[in-house]
Chain A
Amino acid sequence: MSIVFQKPESLTEKTTIFCPGCSHGIIHRLVGEALDELELRETAVGVAPVGCAVLLYEYFRTDIVEAPHGRAPALATGIKRVRPDLTVFSYQGDGDLASIGMGEIMHAANRGEMITVIFVNNANYGMTGGQMAPTTLPGQRTTTTPTGRDCAAHGSPFRMAEIMGALEPVVYSARVSAATPAKIMKAKRAIKKAFQNQKDKKGFSFVEVLSTCPTNWGMTPLDAVQFVEKDMEAYYPLGVFKDADGGDK
């Protein structure tokens, strides 16, 4: 009998603390599978964010360093520059990457650092209780936009995958969704590609994953998935915004 499904070697046995219906667990698994399939676990160093994924070191069977809020791309830069032989990735939420850490991500990308960035866009600050993130949709209610995000007052949501794709040195930028099994399979291919690029020493690769946060959205897991598909995907088109290999768009 052959094994058709098992836990990736790159993940630990620990039960995660994520809420039911949260995409973080799925995305952890996709990253773990990609590391396994590309045989990168033994050279991997992950950089954890501040946010719901702060416990990365509990769930990944790889070396991990925990960054101050938003600074993961700077830590990843430091690691990769002194140890180019390591496989370096950051895993960051939208508050972490696109708000407090906007400077670090822009410059790491624009230097073309040889790293892989996994960006979890769940349209709010999950860990601190659902405040507005730079990615919160227009009109979306959060604990700091009680009447819905007013773009005139709070600005418009950043489309990070497009912004990354527009930077000259970036070799790969894609947006995927964790809403349905078919989309998750696609997300897996994008994440694997982003690590393959690092393995092949191609350059900076970025994958944005549209994700659920049922707890802070006040939705059931099922409604949350629908919110990602209907509302988030409408504002954040899925696709590949940059692929230096000229791969499928």
Chain B
Amino acid sequence: MSKKVLMKGNEAIAEASIRAGLAGYFGYPITPQNEFTSYMSYHMPAKGRAFVQAESEVAAINMVYGAAATGCRVMTSSSSPGIALMQEAISYMCGAEVPAVIVNIMRGGPGLGNIGPSQGDYNQATRGGGNGDYKMIVYAPSTVQEAVDLTYNAFDVADKYKIPVFILGDGALGQMAEPVLLPEEKPEMKGDQGWGLSGAKGRDPRAVMSLRLAEGELRKHNWDLVSKFEKITEAETKYELTDTDYDVLIAAFGTSARVAKTAIRQLKEQGIKAALFRPITICPFPYAALAEAAKKAKKVLVAEMNTGQMLFDVKVAVEGAVPVEFMGCPGGESFSPEEITAKIKEMQG
């Protein structure tokens, strides 16, 4: 049995990726994810695996696209402005159906914003982000351990559905050090998986591309992607509901969910019954589970480190069954448990 080690979020996610059999890492420096790239720059070459510090995030994600097209297990990590630059290639990868893991350690925006923890990229991550009709799987871990476990598994999920998978964390998760139990190390995943580009020896040539020119071909492809995502929704949707008996339901993800958990403990001590609904996959969003959970509550509070993005999905799920209130904290800052507690008391009037 391995024992727990103290690691920063960025380094722990990087190590989990290596243990998942990572064959290549391509990245570009940006705060607050720099420890990620640094960790890879030492540990990947030490294992004889590919590491490239790319000239830009545009190049980094296109290196990922090329390497992923061979069927090898590859990834990149970045933070909000860098992820914005990657959107073109991510759209190509979704169109061409190649797997990869992309880590976004979010910071404050828009623009250069600041380097504080933020959840401002929720819409970008859950609505595709690039051009065209597509979606990706997006995990939103709220502890370093959960980030490790989800990332380790994300590579298998990406391969299974041939789709890019996002790990959406924020500066707090990336920078925080916590004790973690690391998963078992897998061998480097370098095969072509039966579809990747590996040289057309003794078989027909393979093409990885998103161009579909024949009449009706792209229309069909778009609907095929929808069917694939329906399967993903059915099999991969994940969430946490902390209680069965509550008056107020707080919906929050990632770091805000962590703060909300502390607030819920404080509320319980004061005799207020509150529970947390935490989507672990924010895409596919657990609409049905939230709809069910919301019915038991008198009110729902959405708490996010942005100006109200998941709020929209919560409203879609709740469908007006109970009132939905919102508290946001944009700008690279986070609210305190006390602020949530105060908001809930105010809601109870």
Contact = CB atoms under 8 A, between A and B. Distances in A.
A41 B205 CA distance: 10
A74 B66 CA distance: 7
A230 interface: no
Contacts of A57: 205, 207, 209
A43 interface: yes
B207 A64 contact: yes
Given A66-B96, A66-B209, A103-B56, A78 B63 contact: yes
A104 B62 contact: yes
B26 interface: yes
Interface residues of B, number: 40
A41 B67 contact: no
B207 A66 contact: yes
B24 interface: yes
A111 B63 CA distance: 13
B211 interface: yes
A43 B210 CA distance: 23
Interface string A62-77: 1111111001001111
Nearest to B188: A82
B59 A104 contact: yes
Contact of B208 (A64, A68, A106): A64
Nearest to A63: B197
B58 interface: yes
Contacts of B198: 45, 63, 83, 86
Contact of A77 (B23, B52, B58, B209): B52
Contact of A54 (B24, B52, B202, B211): B211
Interface in B184-216: 190, 197-202, 205-211
Contact of B89 (A44, A61, A68): A68
A81 B52 contact: yes
A74 B207 contact: no
Contact of B59 (A55, A82, A103): A103
B55 interface: yes
B326 to A, nearest CB: 37
A107 to B, nearest CB: 4
Interface of A: 41-45, 47-48, 54-55, 57, 60-68, 71, 74-79, 81-83, 86-87, 103-104, 106-107, 111
Interface of B: 23-24, 26, 50, 52, 54-56, 58-60, 62-70, 72, 74, 88-89, 92, 96, 190, 197-202, 205-211
